[in-house]
Amino acid sequence: MQDATDPALAQEFVSFAVQAGVLRFGEFKTKAGRLSPYFFNAGLFDDGAKLGRLAEFYARRLLVEGGQRIAFDMIFGPAYKGITLAAALAVELARRGRNVPYAYNRKEAKDHGEGGTLVGAKVAGRVLIVDDVISAGTSVRESIAMITAAGGQPCGVAIALDRQERATEGGQDMPWSAVQYVARDLKLGVAAIATLDDLLQYLRGTADPALAAFAGPVQAYRDRYGV
């Protein structure tokens, strides 16, 4: 199932992503070949302050008074972006009194030392997958296979932005998004810090006319490709 975003937290996150230059506006070609008026690049959380702040948003999204939105025992970060996100989140959770182990995978298996493709803590119990976005569900399926093979139980996915955009298969638009596919078909809870709807709300409410001008193009993109 998809866990609804926290409106205040989502607006705070979108504002931060815009100020950090991670969320940009203009004309960008997506992997699916669509021309998008916005681009979210989590790789630009590229210094200690921005990465630490991002980890705070993930932690605040996942933790609630007296517990967690998705019950998990450890964190898994799929290579490559997920590695940094999982490590940063583990540090932030520990700072908040919730110390959990984390692991990640290599793209290529190592044939010396400890060997294998998994690095970090032993994969066990309920495992939360942490990534920036879910584009097609491929990374999540691969993570599920690795976690299950190692003896863990995938329990959910935490992402920064749900683009609420129709997935593509074989060049064809599907009637569902990658996030919906993960929640419905893979039976994993999905918690996003913010969604495209939250981004639209931010653009409609901003006092910056240069940013407000993109509310129309982003809404048109949502109408054409959204779910």
Catalytic residue positions, numbered:
110, 112
E strand intervals along 31-115 = 35-40, 63-64, 67-68, 74-77, 102-110
Please, are residues 193 and 5 in contact by the beta-carbon 8 Å criterion? yes
Greatest Cα pair distance, the chain, in angstroms, is 56
DSSP 91-160: HHHHHTT----EEEEEEEEE-STT-EEEEESPP-SEEEEE-S--SSSHHHHHHHHHHHHTT-EEEEEEEE
Q: Determine how β-strand 2-3 pairs with β-strand 189-195.
A: parallel
At 63, phi and psi to the nearest 5? -95, 140
Residue 27, judged by CB atoms within 10 A of its CB (0-12, 13-18, 19+), counts as exposed
What tokens does 178 get? 């990658």
Q: Break the chain down into helix, strand, coil percent, rounded to 5.
A: 40, 30, 30
- CA 213-166-215 angle, to 5 degrees, is 10
